[in-house]
Structure 1
Amino acid sequence: MTNQFKLLYEGKAKKVFSHYDPDKVIIEFKDDATAFNALKKAKFEGKGKLNCLISARIFEYLIKNNIPTHFLELKDENTMIARKIKVIPLEIVLRNTAYGSLCKQTNIQPGTVFANPLIDIYLKNDMLNDPLITKDRIALMNIISSKDLDLIINLTLKINVILKNFFKNIKLELVDFKLEFGYDSKNRILLGDEISPDNCRLWDLNQKNDTIVSLDKDRFRNDLGGLIEAYSEINQRINDFI
């Protein structure tokens, strides 16, 4: 990124830069991979590009389905232009099927399909290790109004219906995913961050004998290998579908 744009924020997987328009930002996707609150780190050449391209296509699909997002356009294969938002420090995790941390924290068996999606909310705070948080605690901490929290939860449920159908069309099962939201300059709540194999758990439906084949960041978390190949496969399926 050229020096004319100021680095506003750098996270684990992205850099956010200023834009000529103060209501916009430039988001550059990095090749870094992290897991377990950045205790595990690695770099994969081409990962940033794949996540950027996948996110852009999915954001476009969500926008067509009347979901308000921060995405505006691709700048290049590694970078997107988005509306500037004030990020709400909550991570909304929706689970369609039990897996991962939920099964470690409860007696729910991995692979249990829920009759209704489960929504977990986490405080977005690395220092506190992103703890699970309740609605009452959110109110006590004055993070967001109950009205806006309800709006975010309803949006998340709508997004789930759209994404489940989207991924089913490309032979992927949407097991769970994490969303972040924020306020734009007009105080509207927009879906932010990214929608990619980094924050979605996606299982390949082309497998036989109910074998679980992850095409997401679990390939890195669980030392399965083939991360770039998995992300490339998702990108190709999306391009073939859209």
Structure 2
Amino acid sequence: MYKDEEGATVLYFKDDMTGKDGVFDPGENQVGLTVEGSGIVGLEMTTYFFEKLNAAGIPTHFISSVVDNRLMKVKKVSVFGKGLEVICRFKAVGSFYRRYGAYVKEGESLPAYVEVTLKDDERQDPVINKSALDALNILDTESYDEISALTVRISQLIKDELSKKGLDLYDIKLEFGRDEETGEILLIDEISGGNMRVYKDGNYIEPLKLNEYFFDK
């Protein structure tokens, strides 16, 4: 992230991906591997979805991008606390299944279930509820409800776009911040294969291959 000559905030998409021991994992909170070209692939998909969301009237930090240069111009935002991750789950997989496997079958459908975690590597991104967020002065209950509603709306739009390509969205991880000029809550960060679990006919689609379903190469 840096400021351009006009003072605008610009994000540069690197080739780093989250994972552990060289294996990609969207649920990990650390850089686990570097894959050449992944920055451009991530920005291409991110641009596609942010443009769809902006057109739908959903507030985001996205202004414009130059995919070939891996650059995305965004609005200046502040995060909640030290950062939150908001997950919308349509299937019981990953950490959700590991926690609640006694009550649900793996892959079972969920009703756009929203959960929030703190960005805290040391404590392995603990799940936190609305009351705790309010008590810790991280996020008031009204803002929590707004983010929760936005998460479902955004995730459903992305799920519908994937469905048009014969793809099934199992879960997606989003981030939000507050516009430093207007105070409006905005969707921030990126929206790419690295943020979601996507399947086709029951088979997992690797993040870097997701673009193949959307863009002709």
The TM-score normalised by the length of structure 1 is 0.79
**Aligned residues of 1:95 and 1:176 also touching (Cα < 8 A):** yes
Residue 11 of structure 2, aligned match among 27, 32, 43: 27
Residue 186 of structure 2, aligned match among 179, 185, 190: 190
1:129-168 equivalent positions in 2, closer than 5 A = 129-168=124-163
**Aligned residues of 1:139 and 1:145 also touching (Cα < 8 A):** yes
Structure 1 runs of 4+ with >6 Å offset: none
Per-residue CA shift, 1:122-165, capped at 9, x if unaligned? 01222222100111110111011211111111111111221111
**Aligned residues of 1:200 and 1:216 also touching (Cα < 8 A):** no
How far apart are 1:25 and its partner, in Å?
Answer: 1.1
| 1: CA distance, partners of 2:210 / 2:119 | 27
Residue 99 of structure 1, aligned match among 79, 85, 93: 93
Q: Secondary structure at the match of 1:42?
A: strand
| 2: CA distance, partners of 1:76 / 1:123 | 30
Per-residue CA shift, 1:54-95, capped at 9, x if unaligned? 000110011111111111111342111111111222111010
| 2: CA distance, partners of 1:198 / 1:37 | 12
Residue 51 of structure 1, aligned match among 18, 39, 42: 42
User: How many corresponding residue pairs?
Assistant: 202
Q: Secondary structure at the match of 2:18?
A: strand
**Aligned residues of 2:131 and 2:141 also touching (Cα < 8 A):** no
Does the alignment pair 1:239 with 2:215? yes
**Aligned residues of 2:42 and 2:193 also touching (Cα < 8 A):** yes
**Aligned residues of 2:62 and 2:73 also touching (Cα < 8 A):** yes
How far apart are 1:21 and its partner, in Å?
Answer: 4.1
| 2: CA distance, partners of 1:76 / 1:200 | 20
Percent identity over the alignment is 31
1:47-86 equivalent positions in 2, closer than 5 A = 47-77=38-68, 78-86=70-78
Unmatched runs of 5 consecutive residues or more in structure 2? 20-27
The TM-score normalised by the length of structure 2 is 0.87
1:214-233 equivalent positions in 2, closer than 5 A = 214-217=204-207, 231=208, 233=209
Q: Secondary structure at the match of 1:72?
A: strand
RMSD: 1.6
Per-residue CA shift, 1:180-239, capped at 9, x if unaligned? 1011121111100111111111112xx4xxxx322245xxxxxxxxxxxxx2x4223223
Identify the structure with bigger relative contact order (alpha carbons < 8 Å, sequence gap 6+): 2
